Structure 1
Amino acid sequence: MDQWIERPFDWVTVGLLVVVLLLIIRNFALGSKLKKLRKSYTQFMNGNGVEGLEDIIIQMKERLQQQDEQQRSLKQTVNGLSETLRKKKGNIGIHRYNAFAERGSDLSFSVALINDEKDGMVLSGIHGRDETFVYAKPLKEGQSAYALTPEEIEAINLALQQEK
């Protein structure tokens, strides 16, 4: 009977030793993983602790605010440039014609200088045999307070076609 009692005790001891050995191996494996994790954390934090992380977040927030302000400023600048560009006097229409059908050639002209809002002017030069007359007429929304000739209207239409 004495042998029977010692035998289970031996098996329990051996079993416990195996469990302890497995726990020691597991402990070394976890220690190795913890060491790698600590190394990664140190590299990520670059030597900064939790207080340093708070400073980094505050700095990032300040940078974002500065970028937002700069973006608003750039949007205002772009809008201003768009408005200026829209009001430019860059659409030009030139129509040459013969003012006197019976003689001469296409030496007379009408030049329209207008912006996208149809504001600007029309210059007309009527070339005769001995002299040339030049007339300027202001334009507001494609119309003039002065009567426009068909040639001037043609020059305006040519300038408006450039707008598209």
Structure 2
Amino acid sequence: MGEKHIMDQWIERPFDWVTVGLAAVVLLLLIRNLVLGSKLKKLRKSYTQFMSGTGVEGLEDIIIQMQERLSAQEEHQRSLKQSISTLNEKVKRKKGNIGIHRYNAFAERGSDLSFSLAVINDEKDGMVLSGIHGRDETFVYAKPLKEGQSAYALTPEEIEAINLALRQDK
């Protein structure tokens, strides 16, 4: 009978169950609040270290300075690209490809003492210098080139020297 009496008390007092349940919820919320407080403290410490005490106003100044530096660097990069492009065009026009072809101008006597020397750029502008070596003397001829052609007739040896100069670029 004593057991029934205890059960009757619990059933008759439903507010006791509610009170116990609410106490458990409050306890859980308190624990959660302590955990979140600890995490917030760690986050504040990290934020303070990251900001080095500069504050929000300091952060805005830093961002503005970084944007200004970035703009200046982008302008400098554009300038460098333009300079490189200009230099590439100048280099292409320089006469730096050289081809030399030695040959025997007179097959029946002598040796490969005659030559044709081509000095041209990537656009095939430049000159061909030819030396015809004979027994007693050497004759030297120069022919200007524009786009691989000359106003003067080119010999097969001179054409070979031009082709050799063009192959050096590859």
TM-score of the superposition, structure 2-length normalised?
Answer: 0.84
Residue 129 of structure 1 corresponds to 135
Match of 1:161 in 2: 167
User: Which residue of 43, 46, 54 maps to 1:48?
Assistant: 54
TM-superposed CA distance for 1:8, in Å, is: 4.6
Mapped partners of 1:9, 1:101: distance in 2: 128
Q: Find the partner of 1:70 among 73, 76, 90.
A: 76
- Residue aligned with 1:56, SS: helix
State how far apart, in whole Å, the 2-side matches of 1:150 and 1:18 are.
105
> 1:113 corresponds to which letter in structure 2?
V
Give the secondary structure class of the aligned counterpart of 2:82.
helix
Deviations, residues 61-112 of structure 1 (Å, cap 9, x unaligned): 1111011111101101210121122112122111111122221111110101
Q: Which amino acid aligns with 2:125?
A: D
Q: Give 2:100's aligned residue.
A: 94
Q: Does 1:37 align with 2:43?
A: yes
Check if 1:108 corresponds to 2:114.
yes
SS in 2 for 1:104: coil
Structure 1 residue matching 2:128: 3-state secondary structure: strand
Compute the RMSD of aligned alpha carbons.
Answer: 2.1
Summarize deviations over 1:34-68 as a string: whole Å, max 9, x none.
10111121122221221112112111111110111
CA distance in 2, matches of 1:7, 1:37: 46
Amino-acid identity (%)? 83
- Quick check: 63-72 or 21-30, which moved more? 21-30
Kindly provide the amino acid, as one letter, of the partner of residue 32 in structure 1.
S
Please give the per-residue CA displacement for 1:94-148, whole angstroms capped at 9, x wherever unaligned: 1111122221111110101111100011111111112212111111111112222
How many residue pairs align between the two structures? 162
Rate the CA distance shift 1:119–1:13 in 2: closer, same or farther, 3 A.
Answer: same
> What is the identity, as a one-letter code, of the residue corresponding to 1:74?
L
Q: State how 1:12-31 maps to structure 2 within 5 Å.
A: 12-31=18-37
What residue in structure 1 maps to residue 64 of structure 2?
Answer: 58
User: 1:148 & 1:14 partners in 2: Cα distance?
Assistant: 112
